[in-house]
A and B are shown apart, each in its own frame.
Chain A
Amino acid sequence: MNDKILMSGNEALAEGAIRAGCKFYAGYPITPQNELTAYMAVNLPKAGGIFIQAESELAAINMVFGAAAAGARAMTSSSSPGISLKQEGISYIAGAELPSVIINVMRGGPGLGNISPSQSDYFQATRGGGHGDYHCLVLAPSSVQESLDLMPLAFNLADKYRTPVMVLSDGMLGQMMEPVSVHSPQSTVHSKKLPEKKWALTGCRGRKPNVVKSFYMQEGGLEKFNLSLQKKYSEIRNKEQRFEMTNVKDAEVIIVAYGIMARIAKSAMQDLNNAGRKVGLIRPVSLWPFPKNAFREIEKSKHFKSFLVVEMSYGQMIEDVLLSVADKSKVDFLGRSGGGIPAEAEIIDKLKKIIRR
């Protein structure tokens, strides 16, 4: 059965969210993610959901706070400068333990930057971004199909852990079009075994009132709460590492790249594999938790020489790679930013130099 349809990465994220049972979307226009908002405006109400074009990014993320507090699967999307504005709300969402999904279709920064693709919001996404001791679970698709397929997982993880989940795309992945199977096994809702939302605000009929808050005035109250958050994060670190490994078994050099950069890196890898070179690829799918487990076995291999981290930034994920290998392995870097994208040929040149070394 040929059920493939042509869609952009941004549209696939939106369609994936609707298929995951998203019932509330609020957003504010910003390039290069506008196709997502427009798709939601047309299709979410048809699926029984609520679409609001908010008056600002701040309003949009706080609408997500309200919708999630009321028990709905809720989402917003934006691009880098807009995500910076949403950080206040994301911190409150993490503090109030509200499940929600935030999409960042990254563009160049800092400041207004430009509308070219970039991966320079990695630190902001994986380190909290807003104030306080919290993390977002972060997932990074590398194709239009995966943009669709990761959305049910994003919503399920949000509900399971009562936490904000960020899906990190970029301007290239968001705007490129690919044929997508909308009936892929991953694109359906897997909401079995998810906890009931007994904490949600529904009116207190037949129960004690519920309070959604992140404010702990009493001495020691916040510390106790933060320790419970840390316990949750520790569980997520153990259970939710996701990655894809390709040709790593006999590899001398292993590229580490995520998102659209991993697609380009994979082509470079295949080119060198065809020429008989032993090159592999690790593609983190979860950026937080960072898939440290992927690095464990590789370092024991006799053939292995070094990692090459390739990013559309001047080096952000490389810090997680360095933490994962803990100085035991050599780690090289290739990165460009501000709209510059490491090309396949650049990656091949770099790999050849590393192999000759």
Chain B
Amino acid sequence: MKKIIKRPRALKDVPTHYCPGCGHGIAHRLVAEVIDDLGIREKVIAVAPVGCAVIAYDYWDFDCSEAAHGRALAVATAIKRVRPENIVFTYQGDGDLAAIGANETLHAANRGENLTVIFINNAIYGMTGGQMAPTTLLGQTTVTTPDGRISQIHGYPLKISEILATLPGVKYVERVSLTSPPEIIKAKIAIKQAFKNQMDKIGFSLVEILSACPTYWGMSANDALSWMKGTMSKEFPLGRIK
């Protein structure tokens, strides 16, 4: 039998710790495939997030740094400035990038740092047990919004990609989703573009990936995908933003 697809070199052959239906496994693999395709595994330095993907470096087979909660883009800024010849990217969740790290995100983007950002948006805090995120949808129930997110009390879902797209230092922003094979292929193309931009010294590039959290959404994996397609993608429209 002919092997038509294999494990990317940049992804270790180890068991996953992610919940069933979680998007991190797919997103990790897409990043690893892109790094293989571009032949940059030995040049890449990743900044791993705080949250469910904190041990991303247990899966990826290249140099990685941790960062304190929200500080990934400050850490990445310095790594890239010290080693401009390396390819530096951050992999961050919505709490990390849009809440506690909003300041670091805004200013690294505004400085136009030549970095690649993989932004996983699952509209909830996973690792800490399903609390409201800045990206939580209106009406969405979480352990800290038991009656659903209410705009008058909790504010509105924060559209970080649209905000960043207004900054002159930001060169590329695209929102993709991990709901179906065609969407996953689009996600890979966007991730590749974001890495290519850095290689071509074009500047700050961010890919927002809508990703499922069936565990804390309280849904089956299938229902989670339907909710992403039907509800979440309405609040966070897919496609190129800048």
Contacts and interface: CB of A to CB of B under 8 A. Distances in A.
Interface size class of B (residues with CB under 8 A): 20 to 34
Contact of A62 (B81, B82, B104): B104
Given A24-B81, A70-B45, A209 B75 contact: no
B71 interface: yes
A139 B138 CA distance: 53
11 contacts: A24-B78, A58-B104, A59-B107, A62-B68, A63-B78, A70-B79, A96-B65, A201-B64, A205-B43, A211-B65, A212-B64
Interface in B5-62: 41-45, 47-48, 54-55, 57, 60-62
A293 B231 CA distance: 69
A66 B44 contact: no
A215 B66 contact: yes
Interface string A73-92: 01000000000000011001
Contacts of A66: 47, 65, 67, 74-79, 82
A214 B74 contact: no
Interface of A: 23-24, 26, 50, 52, 54-56, 58-60, 62-67, 69-72, 74, 88-89, 92, 96, 201-206, 209-215, 217
Q: Which 5 A-B pairs have the closest CB atoms?
A: A66-B78, A66-B75, A62-B74, A62-B71, A55-B107
Contacts of A62: 67-68, 71, 74-75, 78, 104
B223 interface: no
B206 to A, nearest CB: 18
B42 A65 contact: no
A338 B51 CA distance: 41
B162 interface: no
Given A55-B104, A69-B65, A71-B82, A201 B77 contact: no
Interface of B: 41-45, 47-48, 54-55, 57, 60-68, 71, 74-79, 81-83, 86, 103-104, 106-107
Nearest to A58: B71
A65 B104 CA distance: 14
A118 B65 CA distance: 36
Given A62-B67, A63-B74, A211-B57, A201 B79 contact: yes
B77 A55 contact: no
A140 B75 CA distance: 28
A3 B3 CA distance: 73
A209 B61 contact: yes
B62 A204 contact: yes
Contacts of B76: 66
Contacts of A71: 82-83
Contacts of B106: 55
B55 A215 contact: yes
A70 to B, nearest CB: 4
**Most chain A C-beta atoms within 10 Å of own C-beta, residue among B63, B78, B86:** B78
A207 B62 CA distance: 10
B175 to A, nearest CB: 25
Contacts of B104: 55, 58-59, 62
A209 B58 CA distance: 11
B65 A201 contact: yes
